Structure 1
Amino acid sequence: MAELLIGPLISMVKEKASSYLLDQYKVMEGMEEQRKTLERMLPAILHIIQDAEEKGASRPEVAVWLKDLKTAAYEANDVFDEFKYEALRREAKKKGHHSKLGNEVARLLVPARNPIVFRYRMGKKLRRIVQTIEALVTEMNTFGFRHLQQAQPSRQWRQTDSIIIDSDRDILSRSRDREKKKIVGMLLDQASNRDLMVLPIVGMGGMGKTTFVQLIYNDPAIEKHFEFRRWYCVSDDFDVSTIASNICQTNEKCREKSLQELQSTISGKRYLIVLDDVWNRDVDKWGKLKACLKQGGKGSAVLTTTRDAEVARIMTMGVAEAHNIENLSDEHLKEIVQSRAFNLQNPNMEEQDGILSGFVRRCVGSPLAAKAFGSMLSNRTSITEWKDVLAKSDICSEKTGILPILKLSFDDLSSDMKQCFAFCALFPKDYEINVDLLIRLWMAHDFIPVQEDDNPETLGKYIFEELTRRSFFQDVKQTLQYGILRKSTICKIHDLMHDIALSVLGKECVTIDGNKPSVNKQLLNPTRHLFLSIYGVFWKEQVTSLLKKQAAMLHTLFFTDYDDLLDISKYTSLRALHLPAHGYLSFGQEKLTTRHIQHLRYLNLSSHEFEKLSEGMSMMYNLQTLDLSHCINLRQLPKDMKYMANLRHLYTNGCESLTCMPPGLGQITSLQTLTYFVIGDGLGCSTIGELRNLNLGGELELSGLQNVTEVLAKAANLEKKEKLTHLSLKWNDDAPEKTDSHNEVLDALKPHHRLEMLRIQSYKGTNLPSWITDLSMLQHLTELHLIGCTLCEEFPQFCHFKALEVLYLKKLDKLRSLCSHMVSTPFPALKQLWLHDLESLERWVATEGKEDDELTFPVLEEVDIKNCPKLTSLPEAPKLRVVSLDEGKPLLSLGIVKSRHMSSISKLKLCVHDTEALPEIDYNWDSSQKLELSLGGTEAAPLSELSISGCNFFFVSSQSQLTPGVWKWFEHLAVLTIAYCDVLIYWPEEVFQSLVSLKDLWIKSCNMLIGPTQAKGGEPTQTTDQVLPHLNRILISNCESMAQLFILPPSIRFIYIDNCPKLEFIWGKEEHLDAYTSLEHCRDPASTTGTLEQSPSPIIRRPCLVNLIIRICDSLVTLPNLPPSLKQLHIWSCEKLCSVSGDLCALEDLHIYNCNKLQSVNSLGDHPSLERLYLCDCRCLASLGCDGGRGSYSALQSRKIKCCPAIDTKQFY
């Protein structure tokens, strides 16, 4: 199947060969004959290409021909792109562009464009391509290909019935029991319903939809409930008469008679009909069948299975929800693999269990994949063979039986959709794909067909949504990314669908991801699209070497994080270059040569540190997308950007150093996205009026509005930009106060009434214009931010916005309440509320005449309040889940813990700055009693995350006596952060006894904390009960007095300790002293041994520990008894540390820095798993505990050893 999808590429070349632009500027002058030849041959190839693609899967000689054809088509595509660029260059030159470029830019970036030289060079290329294609057409005629019209050869569709013959029936029955009960209950509850119930079961191929419906169909309650049951597998042909005849079990061929027979058969009966594997999107066909099915009795139902959400919508007519089948649990997938696989000789149960878990992860919820893996393992009898199977790149093949099933979904796509989806093989499995970015990449490669009525963005969105409906994409969700006003849509591809994409694109698409890439195998074949995310110098050298041979063919180079790994100048065919830097490296723009300029459509240089862009970049006439977001040092854009005629998306959000926009930006009429527009005050800057004729959509931030007049603001024509959904208006904080001009400008910047998000910052007017306060204007507004409007005296009635979901108010000095008078349903949609630095805010809403049971915030879920000193209580909010309070005196913080809000809050963050200023406390009524009343009995609070900073009242030594009573209600708490609690002297073990669900514990800057509670004799008390039994992670930082940790539970996996200068013991005093005594014995000259021997402990105290990171702990002397589970060990700047010891057989990552007294790292055995080694400034370190012989450090990939004179470095190389 690989490399056989060629039709879209041939079609693309055909369209480019006939482009009017080439005629308009006569760039193919002298090459008319070759062009006409191609215009004849390419349609002939397209005529038979579908038949050729299908035959290529079974005939090797055809597959070779297709491969050669694809290579020639790629070359032709490059040539016609060069012709197009030359036409665009001549067009720009005609408008005066080249005359404005400096001599240096012209010499560096403008190629030799002498018409005679150009014609000779391009003519030579074109003749070679034409000759190749002519030879291929001659060979094509020998294969006997035929033109395939709409009807395709019959596929091998599955036929199903109601009988479960699956050998894993028991496992599947248990795994789907909850889901099955839900559907069975729905069917039984419909007994008195006159309307026909249609319930589609939706999911991608291989998820077990048919088996699931078989379980429902054969349930005893269903058999008893329905008088008439029928099962029919529809597959590709939704023929109404055939379906009717099969339900009635007759051979009637006449449509009318078959439908009449169906009505007669089901008339008055309560029936259940299953239509399995439905692909039909013809509304009329389903409508005719449904009309007959309505003749049944009350409570009748139709169950269908489909891979296509659109099919489900058609069948329910949008009035009912389809059931999306769930992923099978890992536990049940493991059972399926085990039931088929077990044939191991002398199995190592622990190792076997780890490998099985790997197989289960690869299944990603699919029972079909689990069966395939189990079958593949059934005839393999050793762990080594199992590992070989697990290491395979995919399981989606003919042998496993998965490919034919999933391929049905792929075959049902149009050729354009096939091309778009196959390209997604570029991304690693489980990668979160930004949908907008994906569509931009499709556009860059011309995968989206050109249509006059729709722009490529709209068509790309349609293609994505269609692929999503057909289950190719999953986990589609909205997420808010840093520095972006509107939420981005992200998605993933199911692993099995990813394998389909890989099988289509073959070796053209390569993903090198992680620190152990199989570089040699991946880059041996011609590569067109490359995703690169690697670590370690060794691997980078390999990639650099191998890619030199691939450079000229690459069309996509996608870095997840910029590293100066490759010589970009050699990649001369790139259409898409994704090169973000994350703010610590800068990209040398000189690496972008002329040949880059003529092909590039997508360029991402986000987060780089350059201050300006080369003027030569304005010659990127083909560029569609330029992403410069978060280039925080960027001060200016190329002044001639107006000549970039094809630029559609310019991302400049986060470019806070920009002083102005280049002149004439409004001439780029194709521009659809402009995220940040700064209005400068000098000559050579675009005015805001340049926006007038731009059809902008999405988000727009306007900055520097102090430089705008009312006339220019009106000229921007924001009111007509209906695609603009998110708008930010910003004046400079330090701009002189011009109240009247601010009022006039803001009034003139009235947006379209469908605006969804509005942010106004540093506005110095005294009131807001009517388009904000008039509730009829912004009826679709879901998010409103008002920041730094310090002079504003009149505000909108926030409680009246019917669609408002997010409200963010900050530094509004004269705001006293959110609403001046009560309404019947205030804040009907508000979910998130931020109130920061509102010094005059003293009440929520006017409550005169308000009934006690009337709700103020009916759907509010999240509240964040910071520095609002006059607020004394939280609002009524029955659905409140997340609360963050940051205040001077703990007025709100104390109140929340005792309030009825605790019955709904799952995440609570409290920060108190004035820890001495506690209010008067009612000591006669314990706060835990108040909390019990608010919770409504003895049920624990749902709180799962708690962060307290400066909240001394939570602990016993505080005058408030809040603890320990309150803590007993927090048994669901999973994450706890404690910071700046100076009354905390000993570990609060009594508190810990209540936290039976805690997984993460973070202690920060508790400067009085010493360690475990002291008994009368001065020794730490011994607690009989184990505390924090489920603790996974502990992080401790900046605790100046802490000498010892509490006894950590066996469940601990991650330990991070930073800047605890008095810390002496991590595991416990007794355990460390034993290790220290052994160390002193080793140093004694009279000792008979010269090395530290570690006695194997019969009990591994920390069997789950994986990560241990210790930094700046000056009093730590020994670190003994490290467990065999440890994979990461980082030790930095522990000046007294002398010894580290343990069983380090699984250690992968070892970093030791500035530990000048450390002599050895004693390990039981070699370091067979060590991959990354970093040793620096350890002047006494002589050994890592192994002899450096064969097998030592065999997995080592990267190493750096510096200023460690006592150690022999040869053993690591």
Structure 2
Amino acid sequence: MLDFLQVAFDRIFSPELQDVACRWKIDLVKVKSLGVTLAKIKVLYDEAEVKQLTSDDVKRWLHRLKQLLYDAEDILDEYATELLRLKLESTGPHQTQQVQEFKRFGSKVKEIIEKLKSAEQQGVALGLNSRLGPGSSRHMVFSERPPTGPFAISSKVFGRKEDKDEIVKWLFETPSSTDNNFSVLSIVGIGGSGKTTLAQLVYNDPMVENAKSYFHLKAWVCVSEDFDVVRLTKEILEAVTQSSQPFTSLSMLQMKLKDALCGKRFVFVLDDMWNQNSERWDALTSVFAFGERGSKILVTTRSKSVSKIVRTNPDYDIKGLPEEHCFALFRRHALIDGNSSDTKQKMKAFGEKIMKRCWGLPLAVMTLAGLLRGKSKDSEWDDILKNEIWDLRNSEILPSLMLSYHHLTPPLKRCFAYCALFPKDYVFHKIELVMLWIAEGFVQPSPEGRKRLEDIGSGYFDELFMRCFFESSDCSSTFEKFHPFGQPTRLNHGEDLFSKLSYEFHVRSFFESSNDTGSRFVMHDLIHDLAQYVSGGIYCRREDDPCDNPSQVLTTTRHLSFLTKYCNVDAMESEAMKRVRTLLDLTNHLQYSSIKELLPTMKCQFQFIRVLRVRCDNILELPYEIGMLKHLRLLDISFCYIERLPDSITSLVNLQVLVLTGCWKLKELPKNMGKYLVNLRHLLLPVGMIHNDSLDQMPLIVVGNQGREAFVANFMNMPHLLGLRLRWSAYESENSFGDLGRDEKVEEDVLDQLQPHTNLEVLWIQHYGGTRFPSWIQDPHAFSKLENVSLLNCHKCIFLPHLWQLPLLKHLVISGLNAIKIVGSDKFSSRYGSSSNKQFQSLETLHIRSMGEWEQWLEQGDGQFPRLYKLSINLCPKLKMLIHQFPALDELEIGDCEDLKNLPQHLDSVQQLRIKNCQKLVLLPSLLCIKTLTLDSCTYRWRMDKNSASTVRLSQ
């Protein structure tokens, strides 16, 4: 069965819901019949996914089938939702009415089964074979990429000299200590970026070609998708011996290759590698160890996962060509020089504009140049320039990028296509996508439910990043490039509301300032075009254009985003909107007149809505009808002026994420939220100035003072709440909300009462105004599952909690705790255990930043930080020295620590060391494994320990 539908079936037939069905005598026979029908049609679906690229009939059939599958998922979700509501609610008239609903569901299922059977017959008539086994159609349509060879015409290559020289230099570098006689470098980039061409330039560089006394043997092999160890071994053997080999047995081929390599240094190029199976890689390279020390292998690949398998040096990420080189390449292939001077000038002007769309990809440049070759009319060039999604079917860029898409698993395909909802240049956070994917049902649970959905979704994101569908962004503002209306005034510059959300689970985002780019990502323009191409009308984005008509939303649209502050309610009431699952406001500033009319109509118009994100300063209340959106998983109404949530919100039994950031007037939450919202995983609440009155009157209550509110929630009764983010309002000014307006004791009392359930895994505290942290935060017995902790801008705290006792703590961020002078003091030892215990036994990453008064870091006995692999310390100007216990440290970053004089003496495991603006630090310790050393703004003369590795990349 299709993966996303399997999740719905597993939910219905879970033991807890089966008990409900048995108790209320609800017949699920038709649901089982639907499962049988879907299992049959899955094979046709898989085959059609490939055949649609060459058959418009198959493409249309697949599009209709997808709509039926969405309908099937909706009815299955209704089944599961109503069963869950029956389980949660007591017996009464309402439950009797719910049971009657299942009869209506049964007729719906019967109708869908009939439609699916009809679709199956139509698919078979189109040549799709339901009797084929799973995966049998995987390679039916895609033609193999033409084999590559080692030669490139260098005169036709532009802008790669520096890249070539750097890799050639690597080829001749003296190898550092390694277990193998050979080392590997991966050239990584998306399809069409010029990886193969660069490898050809390196392979044929005169320095390499004439160094036959150094590299005795050379071989070029086109690996492609089929990583056949026998074939590849044979091709390498034939290349180094320059003779045909009759052998077909791997053992015989390896024996011959061993003899050929023994005592000789080689350079091999493995082009277009896709393999992610480490056993196959080891099988291929096992014989390479017989070559002479200093042998090199150059791999080209689209996936960073491949470079992990081959245990490469730091990847060589190929960059886009500069604009001038792009245009030179474009001129050559568009044959501009052969035209008249007037035409040449016009074509040059158009060409320069078009080049901006190519993002420096040589293949894109050559493709567009080919499309424009022979076209001399302005209108012909203008059409191409204005066409947002170029004619990919007739463009060589489509197979290049579509091949990467084709290799994604079905869940990853849906996650990638979802990105079509965002505009080009949209800079997003990892957790923003992960939480949306989870809410949409794209993230598949692990077979035994042992992994959190957040972790699985994070793996999806990492996989797309590794395959170059996403790339890190250097943009300082999430909406700066495209947002026409600006952000709400309460946001810091460059801070997106979802960036607040992102701190909840992605630990590397916890400590980042708004200027940090480490947690921000973007899609290449051509990758974005691919997302739109594969979205097939299911994902629709409406932008603020006077000519744009929201009523043009297709009847097939299931997910809708918009960047217009005006929402056409009449258009929203169209038939096309009734099946929409996603309504995503990307403006953060929707007009009140629109949202006031929109919300009450939602029950009728958005029956299947799962994600609702609308924000408006002037909305004062949510309508009761919000509780009728029973499929809703994510509700984000940040920065609304609502004073309370309607009691009907407790009917949203599927709700996973509730975002109320910036709802400063909110005074009350419904009493039974903890009881009925059993799937709530993330709750973001505004925390601010408080009084300590009536804290125990209600299970969930909001109390406030002068418009600055705080939630005091019974989080201890929320076992599904895995992440908790507590953010007090920042110190904005002395007059409006400074130290004089805050009561340290009150804030301490409230934080004491905010103790969450013991299932908590992530805790994030920012702008807390107390002088101490609560005792519960350091209780290793109560919080044995806590993995991620971030303490940010808690300026008055003078002692750190004893977090070293938490057994599973993996990621810790401490930033802006300016009152702390000593870290590691035993003066205030914990009641939960002795400081002699092994400390931070699970900690993997530690980030400390902006600790203006921190002077000392005290040793606390042996056994500290046994697993810490990344340590970052920045903006700690009074810190004088570090402790010495980092046995597993791989990355060390020190920045703006002006008083720091020495580094730990034993950093034997460190591979990456970055030091910036540490004026008194003059001696580097032993660095036996160092690969990358970066020194920046360090004016003293440096001395390196004589035992340090000699091969480092040094930039200053």
TM-score range relative to shorter protein: 0.7 to 0.9
Structure 1 partner of 2:308: 313
Q: CA deviation at 1:696?
A: 2.7
Deviations 1:662-686 (A, max 9, x none): 654323212121101889989x999
Q: CA deviation at 1:408?
A: 1.8
Q: Given that residues 21 and 87 in structure 1 are in contact (C-alpha distance below 8 angstroms), is that contact kept between their aligned partners in structure 2?
A: no
Structure 1 partner of 2:645: 613
Q: Given that residues 780 and 805 in structure 2 are in contact (C-alpha distance below 8 angstroms), is that contact kept between their aligned partners in structure 1?
A: no
Moved more, 33-42 or 377-386: 33-42
Q: Which amino acid aligns with 2:225?
A: D
Structure 2 partner of 1:50: 46
Q: How does 1:710-729 map onto structure 2 within 5 Å? A: 720-727=784-791
1:228 is the counterpart of 2:208: no
Q: How does 1:227-306 map onto structure 2 within 5 Å? A: 227-249=216-238, 250-306=245-301
Q: CA deviation at 1:477?
A: 7.8
**SS of structure 2 residue aligned to 1:593:** helix
Q: Which amino acid aligns with 1:254?
A: S
Structure 1 partner of 2:542: 512
1:392 is the counterpart of 2:377: no
1:130 is the counterpart of 2:124: no
Structure 2 partner of 1:553: 579
Residue of structure 1 aligned with 2:682, choices 617, 641, 649: 649
Q: CA deviation at 1:347?
A: 4.1
Q: Given that residues 712 and 754 in structure 2 are in contact (C-alpha distance below 8 angstroms), is that contact kept between their aligned partners in structure 1?
A: no
1:601 is the counterpart of 2:640: no
Residue of structure 1 aligned with 2:716, choices 645, 648, 666: 666
1:563 is the counterpart of 2:563: no
Structure 1 partner of 2:164: 180
Residue of structure 2 aligned with 1:325, choices 318, 321, 326: 318
Structure 2 partner of 1:1139: none
Q: Given that residues 558 and 579 in structure 2 are in contact (C-alpha distance below 8 angstroms), is that contact kept between their aligned partners in structure 1?
A: yes
- Identify the structure with bigger relative contact order (alpha carbons < 8 Å, sequence gap 6+): 2
Structure 2 partner of 1:209: 195
Q: CA deviation at 1:187?
A: 1.5
Residue of structure 1 aligned with 2:464, choices 456, 462, 467: 467
Q: Which amino acid aligns with 1:371?
A: M
Structure 2 partner of 1:72: 68
Residue 727 to residue 774, structure 1, CA distance change in 2 (3 Å): farther
1:493 is the counterpart of 2:523: yes
Q: CA deviation at 1:818?
A: 5.9
Q: Which amino acid aligns with 2:812?
A: E
1:675 is the counterpart of 2:725: yes
Q: Distance in 2 between matches of 1:418 and 1:218?
A: 38
Residue 724 to residue 284, structure 1, CA distance change in 2 (3 Å): closer
Q: CA deviation at 1:745?
A: 12
Residue 729 to residue 210, structure 1, CA distance change in 2 (3 Å): closer
Q: CA deviation at 1:501?
A: 2.1
Residue of structure 2 aligned with 1:417, choices 387, 409, 412: 412
Q: Given that residues 530 and 558 in structure 1 are in contact (C-alpha distance below 8 angstroms), is that contact kept between their aligned partners in structure 2?
A: yes
Q: CA deviation at 1:799?
A: 8.2
Structure 1 partner of 2:452: 455
Q: Given that residues 639 and 663 in structure 1 are in contact (C-alpha distance below 8 angstroms), is that contact kept between their aligned partners in structure 2?
A: no
Structure 2 partner of 1:839: none
Q: CA deviation at 1:557?
A: 1.5
Q: Given that residues 680 and 720 in structure 2 are in contact (C-alpha distance below 8 angstroms), is that contact kept between their aligned partners in structure 1?
A: yes
Residue 196 to residue 604, structure 1, CA distance change in 2 (3 Å): same
Q: Given that residues 760 and 785 in structure 2 are in contact (C-alpha distance below 8 angstroms), is that contact kept between their aligned partners in structure 1?
A: yes
Q: Given that residues 577 and 600 in structure 1 are in contact (C-alpha distance below 8 angstroms), is that contact kept between their aligned partners in structure 2?
A: yes
Structure 2 partner of 1:162: 149
Residue 500 to residue 765, structure 1, CA distance change in 2 (3 Å): closer
Q: Distance in 1 between matches of 2:745 and 2:106?
A: 48
Structure 1 partner of 2:612: 577
Q: CA deviation at 1:176?
A: 0.2
**SS of structure 2 residue aligned to 1:175:** coil
Residue 128 to residue 38, structure 1, CA distance change in 2 (3 Å): same
Deviations 1:874-916 (A, max 9, x none): x74789xxxxxxxxxxxxxxxxxxxxxxx9769xxxxxxxxxx
Q: Given that residues 729 and 759 in structure 1 are in contact (C-alpha distance below 8 angstroms), is that contact kept between their aligned partners in structure 2?
A: yes
Q: Distance in 2 between matches of 1:648 and 1:382?
A: 58
Structure 1 partner of 2:707: none
Q: CA deviation at 1:749?
A: 11
Deviations 1:1109-1131 (A, max 9, x none): xxxxxxxxxxxxxxxxxxxxxxx
Deviations 1:1096-1152 (A, max 9, x none): xxxxxxxxxxxxxxxxxxxxxxxxxxxxxxxxxxxxxxxxxxxxxxxxxxxxxxxxx
**SS of structure 2 residue aligned to 1:275:** strand
Q: Distance in 2 between matches of 1:549 and 1:273?
A: 60
Residue of structure 1 aligned with 2:80, choices 76, 79, 84: 84
Residue 338 to residue 91, structure 1, CA distance change in 2 (3 Å): same
Residue 667 to residue 147, structure 1, CA distance change in 2 (3 Å): farther
Q: Distance in 1 between matches of 2:285 and 2:319?
A: 27
Q: Given that residues 663 and 686 in structure 1 are in contact (C-alpha distance below 8 angstroms), is that contact kept between their aligned partners in structure 2?
A: no
1:783 is the counterpart of 2:848: yes
Q: Which amino acid aligns with 1:195?
A: N
Q: Which amino acid aligns with 2:589?
A: Y
Q: CA deviation at 1:29?
A: 4.7
Equivalent pairs: percent with the same residue? 23
Q: How does 1:973-988 map onto structure 2 within 5 Å? A: none
Q: Distance in 1 between matches of 2:163 and 2:574?
A: 53
TM-score (norm 1): 0.59
Q: Given that residues 225 and 273 in structure 2 are in contact (C-alpha distance below 8 angstroms), is that contact kept between their aligned partners in structure 1?
A: yes
Deviations 1:1140-1182 (A, max 9, x none): xxxxxxxxxxxxxxxxxxxxxxxxxxxxxxxxxxxxxxxxxxx
Q: Distance in 1 between matches of 2:798 and 2:318?
A: 55
Q: Given that residues 689 and 715 in structure 1 are in contact (C-alpha distance below 8 angstroms), is that contact kept between their aligned partners in structure 2?
A: no
**SS of structure 2 residue aligned to 1:26:** helix
Q: CA deviation at 1:935?
A: 12
Q: Distance in 2 between matches of 1:436 and 1:546?
A: 29
Q: CA deviation at 1:293?
A: 2.1
Deviations 1:1046-1088 (A, max 9, x none): xxxxxxxxxxxxxxxxxxxxxxxxxxxxxxxxxxxxxxxxxxx
Q: Given that residues 851 and 876 in structure 2 are in contact (C-alpha distance below 8 angstroms), is that contact kept between their aligned partners in structure 1?
A: yes
Structure 2 partner of 1:1185: none
Q: Distance in 2 between matches of 1:324 and 1:708?
A: 44
Q: Distance in 1 between matches of 2:559 and 2:813?
A: 37
Residue 366 to residue 170, structure 1, CA distance change in 2 (3 Å): same
Q: CA deviation at 1:650?
A: 1.5
Q: Given that residues 171 and 332 in structure 1 are in contact (C-alpha distance below 8 angstroms), is that contact kept between their aligned partners in structure 2?
A: no
Residue 862 to residue 600, structure 1, CA distance change in 2 (3 Å): farther
Task: Give the superposed CA RMSD.
Answer: 4.5
> Number of paired residues?
800
Q: CA deviation at 1:440?
A: 0.7
Q: Which has the larger radius of gyration?
A: 1
Q: Distance in 2 between matches of 1:119 and 1:800?
A: 65
Residue 438 to residue 332, structure 1, CA distance change in 2 (3 Å): same
Q: Distance in 2 between matches of 1:345 and 1:161?
A: 37
Residue 859 to residue 462, structure 1, CA distance change in 2 (3 Å): closer
**SS of structure 2 residue aligned to 1:273:** strand
Q: Distance in 2 between matches of 1:513 and 1:589?
A: 26
Q: Distance in 2 between matches of 1:257 and 1:449?
A: 44
Q: Distance in 2 between matches of 1:29 and 1:680?
A: 56
Residue 670 to residue 301, structure 1, CA distance change in 2 (3 Å): same
